[in-house]
Structure 1
């Protein structure tokens, strides 16, 4: 099997060692950086929406059973 290599002039294939958040505002808080990189990042948004949907269905089920649970028990 032939070995695949990087395209010419693509630069190094290893991590450059840039500090985390180097491209962001230096006055940004840790919470703001976390929200930007983990919650609202475009590559992580589908997974975060999936977790949010699961949590909403879970708590919606609890609320529905507490509200209408008495009609589920035969009298």
Structure 2
């Protein structure tokens, strides 16, 4: 029997996953701008956006990690 290996999820892994989730969230937003509102494709894209936001909250503690931030007034 093979020895069990210790599995780790590093900060490097987390950053890579966050980057990919950001790409896919952007693609889903693009779908929502093109698909008819209420269509199955639109609903799917909205669900995926919510699921991505949940995953991001798990990774960062901030569900709004990918939301557009307001410009500084300074």
TM-score range, shorter chain: 0.3 to 0.5
Give the TM-score normalised by structure 2. 0.37
| TM-score normalised by L of structure 1 | 0.37
Larger radius of gyration: 1
* RCO comparison, higher one (Cα < 8 Å, 6+): 2
